Every structure is written in C-alpha cells, then in structure tokens.
C-alpha cells in the first residue's frame, strides 16, 4: 500500500511510519519544515526513519506544495493525517479555532487532489482529550482547548469526507510513551 503520512516528526508519528514500513508499505512523509531546522528529539526521530521512508521537506498540510506533492507522487492508497497544530497545547490560551483551521487547511482541495491521484481513504488520528473519546461520565466533552481543536478537526474531516465520498477512519491514541518521547510524567514514573 502507498501511504501519504503527515506528522512523522512527532513521537507517535515516527512509530506509525516505522510500523508501516516494517509491514511492507511504501511511505511518503510530508515534513512541515526544511531538514536543517530539526534538532533534538525531532531530529533523532527523523534519523530513525532515514532510508526507511521517503521524505518531502517543507510541505505543510493543505499548502500548494502539499497539493503538488499529491499530484506528482500519486497514486496513494491512503492519507494518514497525523500532523496537528500542538504548539503550547497545554496552555489554557491555546487557540482551538486557529489550530483546527491549520489542521484542515484547504481540505476540500486536498480531497480533490487525492481523488485525482487515486486515493479514496483517510485515516485521521485523534486524542482522548477530544469530545466523545476516552472514558468518563457522559457527556464526554473536550478536556482542553487542544482537545477542542482535535474535536473540530475530526468534525471538519467527517463533513468533507462524506461530501467527497471518502472512507474515513479514526485512530485514537490513548497515552503513548516510550523511546524517543519527550520528558513527561509517564516517562518520569517509568524511570523512577
């Protein structure tokens, strides 16, 4: 299967790409910035993927470069959209509307380009912080502004995927941790 993947520089994105390649899939990772701007854990993650999947540098979801990438490098069997605006995602001032807009930038045009490149399937990653995900007392509301942005992203994708007759699947990541993750509470607990 030929996969167009966004978000490969993130902790879970790196593992998604690695597993897809190990299972024999051909992965083209659209990377948001230029290669020389990555440092720290993101650079280490990219090094883990080097030679395993193909990179397209400086290509943001929905940009003209992204649309050109689809047209030039198709056909694709599936778009795995894992990239999401997450800078300062723990802040109560996180701008959920701007993040959802970035996550779905020019989505109708993206779907047309994908259809023209032979793709009719999308896998969107989600979060337990968004509405109607995880467990708890109903109603399950978004847990934070970041969760709200992921909720809005999923709803926008649902709407446009249905309009364009794309199959849409969703993969919710509960609480990932492990090698190549940044320092977080779960990492601290495991080390201690």
Q: Region 142-149: what's the mean pLDDT? A: 89
Q: Give the domain CATH number at 69.
A: 3.40.50.720
Question: Could you count the other beta carbons within 10 Å of the beta carbon of residue 144?
Answer: 17
pTM over 0.85: yes
pLDDT in tens, 87-111: 888 889 999 999 999 999 999 999 9
| Residue range(s) defining the domain that contains residue 178 | 2-191
Total structural domains within the chain = 1
pLDDT in tens, 70-92: 999 989 999 999 999 988 888 89
Kindly provide the residue ranges of all beta strands, DSSP E only, lying in the chain, ordered along the sequence: 2-6, 26-30, 54-56, 78-81, 121-127, 167-173
Dihedrals phi, psi of 119, to nearest 5 degrees: -100, 135
CA distances from 165 to 80, 113, 121, 159 (A): 17, 14, 9, 10
């Amino acid at each position: 299967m030929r996969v167009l993947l966004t978000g490969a520089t993130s902790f879970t994105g790196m593992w998604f790409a690695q597993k897809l390649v190990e299972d024999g899939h051909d992965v083209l990772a659209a990377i948001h910035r230029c290669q020389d701007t990555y440092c720290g854990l993101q650079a280490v993650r990219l090094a883990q993927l080097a030679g395993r999947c193909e990179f397209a540098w400086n290509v943001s979801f929905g940009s003209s470069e992204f649309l050109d990438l689809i047209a030039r490098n198709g056909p694709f069997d599936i778009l795995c959209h894992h990239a999401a605006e997450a800078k300062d995602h723990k802040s109560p001032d996180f701008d959920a509307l701007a993040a959802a807009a970035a996550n779905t930038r020019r989505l109708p045009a993206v779907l047309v380009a994908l259809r023209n490149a032979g793709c009719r399937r999308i896998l969107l990653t989600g979060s337990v912080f968004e509405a109607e995900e995880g467990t708890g007392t109903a109603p399950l509301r978004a847990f934070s502004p970041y969760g709200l942005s992921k909720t809005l992203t999923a709803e926008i994708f649902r709407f446009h995927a249905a309009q364009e007759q794309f199959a849409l699947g969703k993969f919710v990541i509960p609480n990932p941790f492990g090698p190549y993750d940044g320092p977080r509470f779960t990492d601290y607990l495991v080390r201690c």
